[in-house]
Amino acid sequence: MNGTDVSRRAVEVGLTLARASDAHVTALYVTRASASPATSPPRRLVMRRNESGVLKDIAALAERYDVPLRNTTRADMAPDQAILREAGRGYDLVVLGVSRRPGDVLFFGNTAAAVLERSPTLILFVAS
């Protein structure tokens, strides 16, 4: 989950599936530059507020869907690495919001491609 519309739709799909199967959900938020020395304190504050807002939004959705939710955050790593690390903890399904990239070949970006190639679990891509 990164706060985009497509990632929010992916959360809603995941919550719908979890509710139907009486499952639990873990929402993963990945941030890359939070601890970078080059990132100014005001920028870090904005990033933390954004992270908090996204996680609160997910929690409100989970409550609305009546689905148990666990939030986790990974900092300073590539999104695909964070997703794969979390998926390796034994989940049944990874739901990932994606957007099609321009071109003749169907491509959803480097993160989606890496997760698809190396994920130890099932993946559901949700596109807009």
Domains of the chain: 5-127 (3.40.50.620)
pLDDT digits 0-9 by tens, 72-125: 988 888 999 999 999 999 999 999 999 999 999 999 999 999 999 999 999 999
> Hey, CA dihedral for 95, 100, 105, 110, is it positive or negative?
negative
pLDDT digits 0-9 by tens, 6-58: 999 999 999 999 999 999 999 998 886 555 666 677 877 887 888 888 889 99
Cβ-Cβ contacts under 8 Å for 30 (sequence gap 6 or more): 2, 73, 74, 75, 77, 79, 82, 83
Token readout for 12 is 């809603």
Tell me if 98 sits within 8 A of 128, measured CB to CB: no
If residue 108 lies in a helix (H) or strand (E), which one and from where to where? none
Token readout for 113 is 């491609």
